[in-house]
Amino acid sequence: METCLECKKPTETVIDKCTGDTICTECSLVISDHYIDDSQEWRTFTNDDNSDRDPNRVGGPTNTLLKSGGTGTIIDKGRENTSSVSKTNLYELCRTQNLVRNTEDELIEKACREIKRISEGLGLISSVKFRACEIVSKFDGDNSKRLRREKHLNALCAAAVSTACRELKLSRTLKEISLVAGGVDLKDINKASRIIRRLVGSDQDELAPSSAAPQVIINTGELVSRFCSKLDISVRETKAIREAVEKAENFDIRRNPKTVLAAVIFMICQLSQTRKRPIREIAVAAEVAESTIKNSANDMYPYASKIIPSWYASEEDINKRLGGTIGSWDAARLTA
């Protein structure tokens, strides 16, 4: 029983555990609005397949990516003259803990935090983040598979995100990942990607020695949507670009998919009746040099009438508008 200030006598009270209020049962006055539950905090974390026989435990769920499961003990030195343990014994316990501490788990946790930051910056789905963390967690073996700090770790995180995107068929260019990862050099990302491919490939060979890992190419369809969105291209032009890119795969155009897409966007924009995008804007959006787009458009011009949809532009319009632009490039090249 507690004393109610309104009733001015000891009364029966009831505790609302949802709001933490202590309420008088006679006059409904809130005597206290801050209730602390001092009982045990038992929570339930069960596996999806219900294989956990005793799911009741205190604290968060275990981390399957870490050898220790994410559980551990931290010995705090505390303030002076407040510990019941002597200072000598306390420092000895801290020294022992530092000797047995798993530094690899700490680096993996740090790498997972960096991967989460990169994934959120790129707007990626959670499955990409988990797959990238899973790749990084494999670096806990011998010295050749150990994680290193700072520059190497950042490059490895960026490469893990790139690998996860390719496995899940989500196209993100290395330059995009490099910018979000804090300007990590592309050479370092490529080097880390080769290390990851060897590691992931060796794991797949152990699981299925007779089958080779499939090579995932860049999803050009997704790049079409992203690049056209950056350039604010209309739905009609986007549809024409998508169809042209799909038809371009049937011809012997020895350029990478992103360069082909940039050249197709340039040609479609030159044929546009509403708004023409300058080649400089296309180069920035597609992350391709202007000279590369010009050379690719020059290589693709002989196939332009077969690549560009007929409902978007006739063969006469293609030869008239694109022929003049590309012809001026050739003339300028010969003059130079």
179-193, 205-219, 238-252: range with lowest mean pLDDT = 205-219
What's the confidence (pLDDT) of residue 67? 66
pLDDT in tens, 131-143: 998 888 887 654 4
254/311 same-domain check: yes
What's the confidence (pLDDT) of residue 88? 74
128-137, 165-174, 202-211, 296-305: range with lowest mean pLDDT = 202-211
- DSSP code for 310: T
Spatial contact of 311 and 257, defined as CB atoms under 8 Å apart: no
pLDDT in tens, 298-318: 888 888 888 888 888 888 888
What's the confidence (pLDDT) of residue 217? 44
Is residue 41 one of the residues assigned to a domain? no
193/228 same-domain check: no
Q: What is the phi/psi pair of residue 3, to 5°?
A: -85, 125
75-84, 101-110, 278-287: range with lowest mean pLDDT = 75-84
Q: Give the mean pLDDT of 236-254.
A: 86
What's the confidence (pLDDT) of residue 151? 65
What is each CA distance from 199 to 118, 160, 188, 194, in whole angstroms?
22, 11, 17, 9
Q: Collect all residues with Cβ–Cβ distance below 8 Å to 150 and sequence separation of at least 6.
A: none
pLDDT in tens, 69-79: 666 666 666 55
Spatial contact of 170 and 126, defined as CB atoms under 8 Å apart: no
Which tokens hold the place of 202? 């060796």
What are 146's strand-pairing partners? 140
186/236 same-domain check: no
157/250 same-domain check: no
235/326 same-domain check: yes
Is residue 57 one of the residues assigned to a domain? no
Domain hosting residue 7, numbered range: 3-32
State if pTM tops 0.85: no
Which tokens hold the place of 163? 């690998």
Using left for φ > 0, alpha for ψ between -120 and 50, and beta otherwise, residue 39 falls in: beta
Is residue 155 one of the residues assigned to a domain? yes
Q: Which one of 146, 167, 200 terminates a domain?
A: 200
224/161 same-domain check: no
196/224 same-domain check: no
Is residue 322 one of the residues assigned to a domain? yes
Check whether 64 has a pLDDT greater than 60.
Answer: yes
Tally of structural domains, the chain? 3
What's the confidence (pLDDT) of residue 182? 83
In this structure, what CATH number is given to the domain that contains residue 227? 1.10.472.10
Is residue 80 one of the residues assigned to a domain? no
CA torsion 83→85→91→92, rounded to 10°? -160
Q: Give the mean pLDDT of 264-291.
A: 85
- DSSP code for 319: I
Is residue 153 one of the residues assigned to a domain? yes
254/226 same-domain check: yes
Q: Rounded distance, CA 12 to CA 94, Å?
A: 50
What's the confidence (pLDDT) of residue 28? 81
Mean pLDDT of all residues belonging to the chain: 76
Q: Which one of 138, 168, 200 terminates a domain?
A: 200
Which tokens hold the place of 257? 């998919």
For the chain, percent of residues with pLDDT exceeding 70: 69
Is residue 214 one of the residues assigned to a domain? no
Is residue 310 one of the residues assigned to a domain? yes
Check whether 107 has a pLDDT greater than 60.
Answer: yes
166/226 same-domain check: no
**Confidence tier at 216 by pLDDT (50, 70, 90):** very low
What's the confidence (pLDDT) of residue 147? 62
Q: Collect all residues with Cβ–Cβ distance below 8 Å to 31 and sequence separation of at least 6.
A: 2, 4, 5, 13, 22, 23, 24
Helices (H), 208-256: 220-230, 235-248
Check whether 29 has a pLDDT greater than 70.
Answer: yes
- Tokens 């520059």, residue located: 151
What are 32's strand-pairing partners? 22
Q: Collect all residues with Cβ–Cβ distance below 8 Å to 189 and sequence separation of at least 6.
A: 155, 158, 159, 162, 174, 177, 178, 181
Q: Which of 115, 213, 216 is nearest to 166 (CA)?
A: 216
Higher pLDDT, 187 or 204: 187
What's the confidence (pLDDT) of residue 234? 87
226/169 same-domain check: no
Q: Rounded distance, CA 42 to CA 58, Å?
A: 5
Q: Give the mean pLDDT of 165-190.
A: 83
Q: Give the mean pLDDT of 262-287.
A: 85
